[in-house]
Amino acid sequence: MNLFKKILLGVFLLLLVPLILCSSENRKSLFLTKAVDPLGKDISGDRQIGVVKSLLSKLFVVSVRDEENNPIKDIEVAFKVLDDKEAQCNPQVAYTDVNGYAKTAVTPGKSSGKFILEAELLSDPSKRLIFTYNVFNRRWVYLLIIQLIGGFSLFFFGFRVAGKGLTKSAGGSLRELLYRFTHNRFFGLISGIIITFLLQSSTAANVMLVGFLTAGLIPFINALSIAIGTAVGATITVQLIAFKIYNYSLLIIGIGFLLNSLKKPLRYYGQFILGFGLIFLGIKIMGEAFLPLSLSGSLETFFTLFKEHTLFVFLISAIFTALIHSSAATLGVVISLSFQGIIGLEHALPVILGANLGTSTTALFASIRGNREAKMYALSIFLFKLITVLVFLPLVGFWSNLFQRTAGTVARQIANTHTFFNFILAAIFLPVVKPVGKLLERIVPKEKKELLKGPRFLDKKIIENPAAAIAHTQREILRMADMVSEMFTNSMEVFKDNDKDLMRNLVKKDDEVDNLEEAINDYLTGVSQEELTNYQSKRITSLFFITDELEHIGDIVSKSLMIYAGKKIKEGFIFSDEGFNELIDFHGRIKENFNLAVSALTTYDKSLARRLMEERQQCVDIHIKLHNAHIERLKRGLVETIETSTIHLDFIDDLERVNFHISNIGYAILGKITPKP
């Protein structure tokens, strides 16, 4: 019996050992992986997003296979959510199907955040997989939209605050920069870079320069190098955005706020720092808003689809930038996408090109009401950008591969590409600004001189930009000065030729001058409501004063000189040759002073203004001399002198009054006036 048992036990052991060895061999050969379909596409459900207490839209799927990559059926796989006790897996233990897939559905708890799902083989617990998923609030889409709008608003507002802060701190040096550093191409380039950084916008810089050209303050050829400088200057802000300093945005805002509470000029520097802090805070908020989309992978799919439609993306970017008037804002959004890993350089490059072209359209619209030089300048900016875009756009793949080597992060690559684009623009066009200028002079037709009633250059859309608004006002005042100067010149022609029609036209012209004065004063009042530097405030005061002086000269011509002319024509009076020649010479001397005043007003040249001061006393001396000469002729009993005595003396007095108002323009330019109550 014992022998029989021993034999049975031996047979049992002989049969059991292979089974144990086989089972051990199977356990060792099983592999647990995240599921993919026959084409290699991930179908595991990893990195999906959902909302609290709602079933996730995708199942989590694992694949169990042997060493030969064959699916293994009926293998137990356990699923468990870590760090969320309220989350449920259904089922918690799943068996693989004929394809070797084990699946479970997950319902998150009430907590939001990032969670981990663990899958393990029950037969071999050492073999595990980790899945991640993110859970958001039920209204995460609305919150995303609110964050995007709020982040972009802060971002865009930051540009305006920073630009105004540095512009105020610069004061009148901005205009000084334009006058003194545009005599060659290199300095024009540098001044364009500085102006754009001060204004924090190439669009604002170009609109301002269009205003200066319209006002005749800058030669057109010199402005071309400034245009190239504004393009390069716009890259500085984008470079700053690309650095991940948005984590310190609140600290920057705090520093800016403290400085902004101090006295000038620290207040203006504080405003600039505060604006930059808002820019980076906006970037941070937009980046966080894009997080759910980056986790879901939906935007990657979107950009992958548009990768094949480069031209369409380019046009959308150009239109969007034209609407918001800021290429930096467009690129800021793209950089915030890159921070979340949503977009690569190959997707961003068409957006960069579109943003650069789109920002040039604002200057085109701003030049519509400008003069020929302003139109040529705006057209040059557009052509510079367009030609450079044509260099880049057909070879997007080549340029993206090239610029990917310039930095390790996509954000830096985007900023570098934007910078290289504008440096290439500068390299192409800076050496040929003069030939380009001559070409544009041939392309843009010359203006037809028209007599336009009412203001021509007072654009209410730019009142918020005091520098540009003041430049436009100055051009309007110069136009008013031309009208008054023409009236004064023609007043003598009326006396020479007894021209009644010309006399009536001069009286009507004074009505236009009065209307123009009212429009200019209203416009300057609007500008004065904006935040102004001390320099800008003084300039507005002087422009008010100059406008008033010009209106007085117009009144003297229409309400005094033309009255004398009418009496002379009606009564048939004739001046003595000696007396009339004295009037003509005195009138000519004052006309020269008027031309000098217009030149001083055009450039705000203080040396010309001082010459007006010197001429004032000389004309006073001439006035006394002519008055005494007329008295001497009366003593001699000349009939012509006796008949025209009253008109003659009043004429001399009024000519001296005209010179008085002309010299006051010089006083205003020198700042020797007090603000009006």
* pLDDT tens-place string over residues 154-167: 887 887 787 677 66
Is residue 199 one of the residues assigned to a domain? yes
Tokens 């102006």 map to which residue? 195
* Helices 410-429/327-339 angle, 10° precision: 150
Q: How far is CA 385 from CA 40, 230, 320, 382, 441, in A?
A: 44, 12, 16, 5, 19
CB proximity list for 504: less than 8 A, separation 6 or greater: none
DSSP secondary structure string for all residues of 123-180:
TEEEEEEEEEEEEE-TTHHHHHHHHHHHHHHHHHHHHHHHHHHHHHHHTTHHHHHHHH
Assess contact for 275 and 165: CB atoms under 8 A: yes
Is residue 122 one of the residues assigned to a domain? yes
Q: How far is CA 452 from CA 11, 455, 601, in A?
A: 119, 8, 22
Assess contact for 117 and 130: CB atoms under 8 A: yes
Identify the pLDDT of residue 234: 81
Cα atoms in the 13 Å half-sphere on the side-chain side of 180: 8
Pairing label, strands 76-82, 113-121: antiparallel
Q: 340 and 432, same structural domain?
A: yes
Is residue 466 one of the residues assigned to a domain? no
Average pLDDT over residues 209-238: 75
The rounded distance, in Å, linking the Cα atoms of 221 and 182 is 9
In percent, the amount of the chain with pLDDT more than 70 equals 82
Q: 56 and 158, same structural domain?
A: no
Q: Per mean pLDDT, which range of 14-23, 284-293, 341-350, 497-506 is the poorest? A: 14-23
Identify the pLDDT of residue 57: 87
Q: 492 and 400, same structural domain?
A: no
Q: 388 and 534, same structural domain?
A: no
Q: 131 and 151, same structural domain?
A: no
pTM of the model: 0.60
**Among 138, 168, 199, where does a domain finish?**
138
Is residue 75 one of the residues assigned to a domain? yes
Q: Per mean pLDDT, which range of 147-156, 200-209, 358-367, 434-443 is the poorest? A: 200-209
CB proximity list for 228: less than 8 A, separation 6 or greater: 188, 189, 192, 384, 425, 426, 429, 430, 433
Smallest CA-to-CA distance from 170 within 600, 467, 601, 544 is with 467
| CATH number of the structural domain spanning residue 124 | 2.60.40.10
How does DSSP classify residue 114?
E
Assess contact for 87 and 53: CB atoms under 8 A: no
Average pLDDT over residues 293-300: 57
* Total domains in the fold of the chain: 3
Is residue 648 one of the residues assigned to a domain? yes
- Phi first, then psi, for residue 612 (nearest 5°) are -60, -35
The rounded distance, in Å, linking the Cα atoms of 196 and 226 is 10
Identify the pLDDT of residue 37: 86
- Phi first, then psi, for residue 64 (nearest 5°) are -110, 125
Cα atoms in the 13 Å half-sphere on the side-chain side of 374: 28
Is residue 469 one of the residues assigned to a domain? no
Q: Does residue 100 carry a pLDDT above 70?
A: yes
Identify the pLDDT of residue 639: 44
Average pLDDT over residues 461-470: 76
Smallest CA-to-CA distance from 176 within 194, 203, 160 is with 194
In this structure, is the dihedral angle defined by the CA atoms of residues 472, 473, 476 and 482, taken in order, positive or negative? negative
The rounded mean pLDDT for the chain is: 80
The rounded distance, in Å, linking the Cα atoms of 136 and 235 is 37
Q: 92 and 166, same structural domain?
A: no
Q: 260 and 149, same structural domain?
A: yes
Tens-place pLDDT, residues 382-430: 888 899 999 888 888 888 888 888 888 888 899 999 999 989 988 888 8
216: left (phi over 0), alpha (psi -120 to 50) or beta: left
Tokens 């010149």 map to which residue? 489
In percent, the amount of the chain with pLDDT more than 90 equals 14
Assess contact for 486 and 510: CB atoms under 8 A: no
Q: 183 and 224, same structural domain?
A: yes
Q: Which residue has the higher pLDDT, 251 or 468?
A: 251
pLDDT band at 308 (very low <50, low <70, confident <90, very high): low
Assess contact for 100 and 63: CB atoms under 8 A: yes
In this structure, is the dihedral angle defined by the CA atoms of residues 305, 311, 312 and 317, taken in order, positive or negative? positive
Q: Does residue 371 carry a pLDDT above 90?
A: no
Run of H or E including 580: helix 577-603
| CATH number of the structural domain spanning residue 609 | 1.20.58.220
Strand partners, 36: 42
Tens-place pLDDT, residues 530-557: 877 777 888 889 999 999 999 999 999 8
Q: 396 and 416, same structural domain?
A: yes
Q: 646 and 504, same structural domain?
A: yes
Q: 134 and 219, same structural domain?
A: no
Range of the domain at 388: 141-443
pLDDT band at 94 (very low <50, low <70, confident <90, very high): very high
pLDDT band at 4 (very low <50, low <70, confident <90, very high): low
**Among 138, 164, 182, where does a domain finish?**
138
Q: Does residue 19 carry a pLDDT above 70?
A: no
Q: How far is CA 209 from CA 212, 227, 232, 427, in A?
A: 5, 9, 16, 22
Q: 519 and 391, same structural domain?
A: no
**Among 111, 138, 165, where does a domain finish?**
138
